[in-house]
Structure 1
Amino acid sequence: MMKLARVVAALVSVAGLIAAAPAGAANPGPQYVGTEYDQGGGTQAIDGPLPQVEQLADQITRTTDDMLRDLARERAKLPYGSIESDHHAPPQLTTYPPAPGSPVSDQYSVTLGQRGRSTSSFVYQVAARKTDTNLEKDTSWTSFSFAGPVAVRVHKLSGTATGCLVRPESARIRTHFADGTCSFALTAAANVSVEFTPNTTNPVLHPMLVFANPPEVDVPPASDPNVLYLGPGLHQLGTVQLHSNQTVYIAGGAWVQGTFKGLGVHNVVIRGRGVIDGTYLDTGDQDSNKSRPGLIDIDCHDPGQPPHAACSTGSSNSSNVVVDGLTFVNGPRFNVRVLGDHITVHNLKVMSWWYSTDCIWAGTASLVEGNFCKVNDDALKPMTGDSVIRDNVVWQLENGAPFMISWNILTDQADFHVYDNDVIHAEHYWLSPQAIFRARHATPGHLQRFLFEDIRVEDANWRLFYIILEKHPKWYDPALGFGQISGLVFRDITAQTPFTMPNVFTGGDPDHRVSDVTLMNVAMNGTCVANAADGNFQIDPATTDQVRIVKSAHAPCSHR
């Protein structure tokens, strides 16, 4: 009876509020304060709702959510294409034996514990390869699969330490440090960096990465004639030409020296827990490496076609491709380029050292999810829409950008939702154009409708934004002219440290602009920015328009 009385009282209260509301009153939406910078140098104060920005964000979300449902239907047609974790899997722990000759770490060892049992997990190590600019010495990592709680103990074998932490901070992993060992518990899959104080900021000389995978699903049998099955051990394959309706399975404990190429292929799955190593392709020279293929190179361009063109629906297009679970190391060129349409790139771990070793570029109608990128060129590339890029972790070396919005895309592209990603380090030191969010656009494509939200930047102090159209002598063709970049929303972006370089927004000319850009609840070094001065922004008044910098009127820069 007391519960019923409270319900009746609540209903009466709600009814009174409705009756008291003016007829036709509507929720005005979130309130913001800040500044808009318009073409010609004019400014407008903002104090109220921004319905046009909210509508743009909602439109992008609806479009990309529809795409994800369509992509899941296509992925379900593949015999071994599932990326869904088994949430009912019993507690289990799987470690993988190293292939003969695998490079063992002299910096760290790892022990795992579950249900009263303890086991070691092999720790690999690779040396930094671009020794003229890489400030790190090497990178170590271990990989295992599990369900249920697991205890992780990372022991430092060399040097002294006073404590430890685990990045990304958003994982909220508590650590315990004693006797040179960092201990913590995991209850869900995660790709993390274990760092020992005092060396936890750039450059971290000996990174240690833990790739804690979910249990494998959709493992194909070796007997399937459409499966290239590579079990534990060393495999020296060279170039593998992919064909349609093929599955490549690389088991945990497999170390593969090979590259996988395809043109006009359909219904292809490449998955497993093994390692693809590109060292055999590495010439040791930056310029010479530019002629090398990517480790996975599924293209949609016939030889002789210009680069950066969008894929067509012609015979050279590729479609319905899944790349899942693998580790890539020492690629001398880009690592995973899967163009075409209906592309899924999931839970990859990538480590490369040279310039032009981009991490992941997926094509139209694509999902890039749950990956770890530690590369020396662009990590995540929202350049071919519509696409979703979410739940990734980036450790950016000195070159490239964690999020590259355009690198001279020739054709119009739209609808990108990039959210819930972490940048744990960005080692930008001296290359001026570098930034966390970057576009260098010298071609005629119109890039539009981008929603970046819930992006967390930890150890980075060079530059947050560098979005420009430029007459670069190497790429700009006056006969083609400029395109535009428009309709960008950056919402709930948090950068922990101060930045050395200004943030830049510049178009190509007064008719080819960077326009309709909204920075909404962007926090930099504890400041929730509401104008250009707050964040050291350089906004070219001649070639930009409707650039808004705002924060919530109530509880600015708090999580929505």
Structure 2
Amino acid sequence: MIRLAKSPAAPDGSRDITDLYKVKVNGIDCDVHPARVSAMPFNRAWPGKQRSIDQSELAAFISFEADEKVTLTIECQKSFEKAIVRPLSKNVSVSSEGTTVVMEITECGQYVLELDDEHQALHIFVNKPNDYPDAGSATYYYGPGVHYPGLVRLKSGDRVYVDKEAVVNGSFMGEGVHDIKIFGQGIIDGTYEERLIEHCYLSSTKGNIKFYDCSDISIEGVILRNSAIWVISLFGCNLVHIDGVKIIGQWRYNTDGVDICNSKDVVVKNSFIRAFDDVITIKGIPDYRHLPVGHILVDNCVMWCGWGRNIEIGIETYCTEFSNIEFRNCELVHSSASCIDIQNGGVAEISHIRFENINVEYSNKCMQEVYQESDEMKYEAHGRVGMPYLIFADNFKFILPNATEEEINTFGITHGIIYKNINVYLDDGLPMPCIHIGSRSADAVPYDFFIDGLYVNGKKILDLSEMTYTPDPNVTKIFVS
């Protein structure tokens, strides 16, 4: 079975499509949606105004349902020499002639077609067929068409359904509510929300989805595009289930993918996240310092980091502990500053953390991350290759305005960290990736880091000296096997 969706027409007659690509799925025309993304890893602290649009570019995506092998025939506007499909571990068969690409996909999931480099990529979302029998009873039913609800404040028990042929221009927010479900395969778009203040923690700017002090939350299947700030953010929440979500079209400042703050019992799985900042980050902030962070699982996700950290704990770690956190079976198709990251910038004890079966791709076309120092400064690192840290762990202080004196003077401790079956795909000509495990205080020494199965292009690494690595005298007990 293959089911395609038609892009709806807005009131002015325009449709949510782009001519970057023309796609046929098993010979049937498939609408191609636009997504504005960051064109370069060029970022700064919030300057009081939004990022310049000339630092962005248009990419594209398609989304359809299938439970059988599909052949995609893709006419590309862009001329190219080489077509590649990520994640590389999926070994997707692809061929090209002129500006036409043909590829076969045999299983549901998320894929990216790149032509020579990462620019103007086509993102491909293949979903399992779902008839959504509960859609008719939804509190908010967004059927085929373009909708403009603006901010929707959710109440306990609410259901939000977004049809696969719907574009919903707005944000969804809950405070102190429970039993919420947002589901469907349509688009939630934040284009019309403007950010006016710096802090991401406050409710002034919502992003696509934001919850405070909520429980029993389910977010399934939807596509989240062009958020004004963190795309999905959770503060003091528990029992949260995020499944099959696609985050795309993020280019504005601080458009992290999923931020999990002082929350517990959270699952993020089967999702695609392309963010302009940290992709999935687990934090503790001072306003919720009484709530520890734990029992969090990220499973079977495809991640693309346009700036900052890909999978991260920190940098805000203002609570007593982070524990029982696991990232597994994930594909890191692009990274920026670092790939697998722990920044204990507060006071927490971080322990019982596991990164397992993580595939990390290093491209020789990766752009170098640059911090923008002023309005006048331009990105001038074109042609320089970026080499993100593969593993980064440190406890340099990140001091927030409402931190106590004790918190300012106390370093967090990190221990009991497992990296198991980390597979690196390293392009020809690139140096070995860098690993950094350090501490800024002899009184807060990280210990018990276990690297069990680190592979670079299939070769097992038996000693960190084989990587780019400088030992830190403040760190003890790193075990490689």
TM-score by length of 1: 0.70
Question: Is 1:341 matched with 2:238?
Answer: yes
**Structure 2: distance between partners of 1:359 and 1:496:** 23
CA displacement at 1:527 relative to structure 2: 5.2
AA aligned to 2:72 is V
Determine the structure 2 residue equivalent to 1:359: 257
Distance 1:408 1:472, change over 3 A: closer
Picking from 390, 396, 404, the partner of 1:464 is 390
Picking from 265, 269, 274, the partner of 1:369 is 269
Question: Is 1:410 matched with 2:318?
Answer: yes
Picking from 113, 117, 121, the partner of 1:194 is 113
**Structure 2: distance between partners of 1:477 and 1:541:** 29
CA displacement at 1:533 relative to structure 2: 2.0
8 A Cα contact 1:99 1:254, kept in partner: no
- Tell me the alpha carbon deviations over residues 431-478 of structure 1, each in whole angstroms, 9 at most, x when there is no partner: xxx210122222122111011111111135322122110134557754
CA displacement at 1:414 relative to structure 2: 0.8
CA displacement at 1:514 relative to structure 2: 1.8
**Structure 1: distance between partners of 2:131 and 2:322:** 34
AA aligned to 1:547 is I
Structure having the larger proportion of residues in helix: 1
CA RMSD of aligned residues (A): 2.5
**Structure 2: distance between partners of 1:499 and 1:219:** 52
Is the partner of 1:533 in helix, strand or coil?
helix
**Structure 1: distance between partners of 2:424 and 2:83:** 21
CA displacement at 1:133 relative to structure 2: 2.7
Determine the structure 2 residue equivalent to 1:208: 122
Question: Is 1:154 matched with 2:74?
Answer: yes
**Structure 2: distance between partners of 1:129 and 1:294:** 17
8 A Cα contact 1:396 1:425, kept in partner: yes
CA displacement at 1:169 relative to structure 2: 1.4
TM-score by length of 2: 0.81
CA displacement at 1:245 relative to structure 2: 0.9
CA displacement at 1:299 relative to structure 2: 1.6
Question: Is 1:437 matched with 2:369?
Answer: no
Picking from 101, 105, 111, the partner of 1:182 is 101
Determine the structure 2 residue equivalent to 1:482: 411
Determine the structure 2 residue equivalent to 1:312: none
Is the partner of 2:89 in helix, strand or coil?
helix
Determine the structure 1 residue equivalent to 2:154: 242
Determine the structure 2 residue equivalent to 1:401: 309
**Structure 2: distance between partners of 1:471 and 1:160:** 47
**Structure 2: distance between partners of 1:128 and 1:324:** 23
Question: Which consecutive residues of structure 2, in runs of 5 or more, have no partner in the other structure?
Answer: 44-54, 284-292, 364-386
8 A Cα contact 2:280 2:312, kept in partner: yes
Tell me the percent identity. 20
Picking from 16, 32, 43, the partner of 1:123 is 32
8 A Cα contact 1:268 1:320, kept in partner: yes
Distance 1:526 1:183, change over 3 A: same
Picking from 272, 285, 295, the partner of 2:208 is 295
8 A Cα contact 1:102 1:124, kept in partner: no
**Structure 2: distance between partners of 1:488 and 1:246:** 39
**Structure 1: distance between partners of 2:159 and 2:327:** 29
Structure having the larger proportion of residues in strand: 2
**Structure 2: distance between partners of 1:360 and 1:289:** 12
Say how many residue pairs are matched. 422
**Structure 2: distance between partners of 1:417 and 1:279:** 33
Determine the structure 2 residue equivalent to 1:313: none
Distance 1:441 1:217, change over 3 A: farther
Question: Is 1:419 matched with 2:345?
Answer: no
**Structure 1: distance between partners of 2:252 and 2:432:** 24
**Structure 1: distance between partners of 2:35 and 2:239:** 33
Picking from 524, 528, 544, the partner of 2:460 is 528
Q: Which of structures 1 and 2 has the bigger CA Rg?
A: 1
